[in-house]
A and B are shown apart, each in its own frame.
Chain A
Amino acid sequence: NAGVTQTPKFQVLKTGQSMTLQCAQDMNHEYMSWYRQDPGMGLRLIHYSVGAGITDQGEVPNGYNVSRSTTEDFPLRLLSAAPSQTSVYFCASSYKRVIRAGANVLTFGAGSRLTVL
């Protein structure tokens, strides 16, 4: 099993450029989410999805768009990158319901380090 695959691992953008961070999982998880990690701030939820066609905002959604056309994929789009979006981004997925104890443990991708100049 590949688990959660994120691409790219590293990216440098100029202010105003757009890009898409890709996320794919092969575990048939209903729940997928994007977090950003900044020093001293922990992991903050950007957007999440509980199934294909359903997305919702997390704590810090501004400047980011998502869509969920399939169960497997959950891309994160930056329409006009800003230096404040310099961060490490994590995609994560899990089953939505507690099928059994611990079954809804979040599985993370390896992370994508984004720098906006």
Chain B
Amino acid sequence: AQKITQTQPGMFVQEKEAVTLDCTYDTSDPSYGLFWYKQPSSGEMIFLIYQGSYDQQNATEGRYSLNFQKARKSANLVISASQLGDSAMYFCAMREHSGNTGKLIFGQGTTLQVKP
């Protein structure tokens, strides 16, 4: 069964520094997608970045990059040059492509606080 694990309930980072949020996953499906979402205190869910299991390169979107290590089943989010507005909860999620259920499973989330 698919599973997502985020082991860091809370993280602190100094403004302008980089931070890595951990995510490990478990699946037997060779075709899957990994997602990161941000949830600020206002509550909305904001899509950040996507990595397909067959993608050859790590995904990047501006200051966000995904450190995808397929053999270790990890998909860590790296935020470079942290800003105060990055303070939020971050969720890792996975979708298996086989079976076409479209089901997306989330991890427990990591709360990031950026210090000025």
Contact = CB atoms under 8 A, between A and B. Distances in A.
Interface of A: 30-31, 33, 35, 40-45, 48, 50, 56, 58-59, 88, 90, 92, 94, 96-98, 101-102, 104-108, 110-111
Given A41-B108, A48-B103, A104 B44 contact: no
A42 B23 CA distance: 13
A42 B101 contact: no
A41 B91 CA distance: 11
B47 A106 contact: yes
Contacts, number: 66
A108 B91 CA distance: 13
Given A42-B107, A111-B44, A48 B91 contact: no
A105 B50 contact: yes
Interface in B18-61: 33, 35, 43-45, 47, 50, 52, 55
B33 A48 contact: no
Interface of B: 6, 9, 33, 35, 43-45, 47, 50, 52, 55, 91, 93, 95, 97, 100-109
Contact of B100 (A44, A45, A97): A97
Contacts of B100: 50, 96-97
Given A56-B101, A110-B43, 17 more contacts: A33-B102, A40-B9, A40-B108, A41-B108, A45-B106, A48-B101, A58-B103, A92-B104, A94-B102, A101-B50, A101-B52, A101-B55, A105-B35, A105-B47, A106-B104, A108-B44, A111-B43
Contacts of B44: 108, 110-111
